Structure 1
Amino acid sequence: MPLESMNAVLLTGHGDLSNLKYRTDVRIPQPDTDEVLIRVKACGLNNTDIWTRKAAYGTDDEGWKGDLEFPRIQGADIAGTIVSIGSEVPDSRIDDKVLVDNALYGDTDNEFQALVNADLIGSERDGGYAEYVAVPAENAHRIDSSLSFAELATFPTSYVTAERMLNRAGVGADDEILVTGASGGVGTGLVQLAARRGARVIGMTTAEKMEAVRELGADTTIARDEKRFTAAIDTWTEDGLDVVADVVGGGIFQKLIETLRPGGRLVTAGAVAGPSTEIDLRTVYLNQIDIYGSTMGTQSEFEDLIRYIENEEIDPVLADTYPLSEIRDAQRRFSQNDYVGSIVVIP
């Protein structure tokens, strides 16, 4: 008799970790005609999981902008194998080893509109904190790699976000780029992907993580404490940096702008130090600075990421794994930020 239920973690409402409920009797989803059913082998954690649970996104009075229904199975960074298919999906897809692009782009040719309005697997529909997940077939990208499923699960959301940031800022081989938050998921992606392009990379992180960031491909690193950062600015501003890729935000933002040469570019895709900041607009317009906002990535950028992994042009940075049943401990560890790379849960 086929299995009907699975282990999964249900998010039962916005709030603290008590809203994450590990269950062993959740019904296995059935793929629609254009979908596939994936046996989840690993699922990475990312900031979206935490911020969604805490209702930290959006602009309405309750802090949430979106159509989230509870209970919800979170988990965006899914690696696994296809075990069942919908009627419109070729039989050849059975047993494919896949990475999942969690963005559901909708029916528009405008990539900016598609990204702004995208629903997300693990948010607007159930994700990978479970033994099985059903996703559109086009979102399950076949991958030919000897990496473990846990290693593969470190890539999807963080690295496609990083790739788009570099594309938005037009980073190339002649550029010198400062990466903030260089030890996190997106940060390690930025370091590796910028180095892959031949750019000279400066990684900003804590003093104890600097060596690990250099091993990922950073040409040099700086500690993010204010004294050392201010001293570094004094050495950079004579000529200025070409690009800053920022995931930190907060009070450091104006100082980041000041590191750029005339005509330099800043791309931002995060605000872990806070979403509000003060900037001196004179620095921006007098120095002809370009500022880009960026989030997630396109289907083609995800396909590029698959190619980089298959060609072994980038490496996984797996900090630790937890069984899915210990999701609360995994998220506590994630929030401590005492590691380099990504944390992954195993169903």
Structure 2
Amino acid sequence: MKGLILNDKNPSKIEVREVELPELKDDEVLVEVKAAALNHRDQWCREGRYPNIRNGVVLGSDGAGVVSKVGKNVDSKWLETEVVINSAMNWGEDQKAQSKDFEILGMPSHGTFAQYVIVKADRLHEKPEHFNWEQAGALPLGGLTAYRAVFFHGKVEKGQKVLVTGFGGGVAQYAAQFAIAAGGEVYVSSGHDQKIEVAKKQGAKGGFNYKEEAWTEQAKKETGGFDLVIDSAVGDTWGKLLKVMNPGAKLVFYGATLGNPKELDMRRVFWNQLTIQGSTMGSDADFKEMLAFVQEKQILPVIDKVYKLEEAVEAFDRMKAGDQIGKIVISMD
């Protein structure tokens, strides 16, 4: 089969080539991949910035397709079923945090940027009926991460003022949609006015361009402050985020793309009774709840652009540039 592998000897660090999958184990299934989507971890693997990376591994965590073969201990009902794949593996029994064996599909195990992928049967869920293949392939990792941040940790409530930073990326667009569907008064921040306009069309109350020096003053004046902030950047942006948070508010962050903050006003944190909460992808329970919520609210992933497998380098470069609004998808058809 054809697959997109990591190869640090190649100038682009990735290449499409023939890949041989291992034998199917008794508790596994073979899925014919219809669509898969990029996540930042794929680009970080390409750049050598992710742990336990190795050449020859098929990248890709998000994916959806049709089950074409099942192991002998797997219920045959799954054959020919249209599925989405939960790429979070070995979460463990503790809902509060992942186990030491937690792993994400696509590195170090073969992922979804291929014509076929092998996963354990317990990673399968039926594809939401209102999704096409590109939407289904774009949901799993980003949707799960956003759901845990907004609901399990953020505990969003109707009428709360919510700020989702960095709108345009996959997780952020899900976080905004989820919080809007839950009845929150949602605002976004972005470095691109075009992305803010997209968020407004989805139901956001407004947005702020964080490249503008006085955006925090504008946000405070317009909203009165936020009860919940969902962030993935950290870095020195946190000093400004703390200033727009109401007393008793919570900041949930699921990444640190800008690194650690040089300074953090801890006096503001304790005096205003603020909570800072880390989050990651979620548990199996989170995934089931996320799927049910998506189907109940008829939420549709925002698709930025669809590429063919042979165009993967172009797709990765688009993610690296940060130009996307929503998910970048690779179609196998």
8 Å CA contact retained: 2:34, 2:133: yes
Which 5+ residue runs of structure 1 have no aligned equivalent?
1-5, 58-63
- Which of 147, 151, 173 is the equivalent residue of 1:163? 147
Q: Which position in structure 2 is the counterpart of 1:129?
A: 113
Count of aligned residue pairs for this structure pair? 330
Give, in whole Å, the separation in 2 of the partners of 1:335 and 1:98.
29
Q: The residue matched to 1:194 in structure 2 has which SS?
A: helix
Query: Aligned letter for 1:20?
Result: I
**Shift of residue 16 of structure 1?**
7.9
Is 2:41 the counterpart of 1:51?
no
Is 2:322 the counterpart of 1:337?
yes
Query: Aligned letter for 2:31?
Result: I
Query: Aligned letter for 2:15?
Result: K
Q: 1:81-160 to 2 correspondence within 5 Å?
A: 81-105=66-90, 108-114=92-98, 117-160=101-144
Q: 1:227-306 to 2 correspondence within 5 Å?
A: 227-235=213-221, 239-306=224-291
**Shift of residue 141 of structure 1?**
1.0
**Shift of residue 292 of structure 1?**
0.2
Give, in whole Å, the separation in 1 of the partners of 2:11 and 2:145.
26
- Computed over aligned residues only, the root mean square deviation of the Cα atoms, in angstroms, reads 1.9
Query: Aligned letter for 1:260?
Result: M
Give, in whole Å, the separation in 1 of the partners of 2:183 and 2:24.
42
8 Å CA contact retained: 1:165, 1:294: yes
Give, in whole Å, the separation in 2 of the partners of 1:259 and 1:243.
10
Deviations 1:116-166 (A, max 9, x none): 641111012110011000001011111241422112112111111011001
Compared CA separation, residues 113 and 221, structure 1 to 2 (3 A): closer
Q: The residue matched to 1:302 in structure 2 has which SS?
A: helix
8 Å CA contact retained: 1:42, 1:79: yes
Give, in whole Å, the separation in 2 of the partners of 1:43 and 1:344.
6
**Shift of residue 310 of structure 1?**
3.0
Name the TM-score, length of structure 1 as normaliser: 0.89
**Shift of residue 233 of structure 1?**
4.4
Which 5+ residue runs of structure 2 have no aligned equivalent?
none
Q: Which position in structure 2 is the counterpart of 1:21?
A: 15
Is 2:170 the counterpart of 1:175?
no
Deviations 1:52-106 (A, max 9, x none): 222324xxxxxx3xx3343211100011010000011011110111111111125
Give, in whole Å, the separation in 1 of the partners of 2:38 and 2:257.
15
Compared CA separation, residues 258 and 291, structure 1 to 2 (3 A): same
Query: Aligned letter for 2:287?
Result: F
Give, in whole Å, the separation in 1 of the partners of 2:229 and 2:134.
30
Give, in whole Å, the separation in 1 of the partners of 2:261 and 2:26.
44
Is 2:206 the counterpart of 1:223?
no
- Which of 20, 23, 29 is the equivalent residue of 1:30? 23
Give, in whole Å, the separation in 1 of the partners of 2:144 and 2:94.
18
Is 2:303 the counterpart of 1:308?
no
Q: Which position in structure 2 is the counterpart of 1:211?
A: 197
Give, in whole Å, the separation in 2 of the partners of 1:139 and 1:17.
34
8 Å CA contact retained: 1:99, 1:156: yes
8 Å CA contact retained: 1:103, 1:121: yes
Compared CA separation, residues 240 and 294, structure 1 to 2 (3 A): same
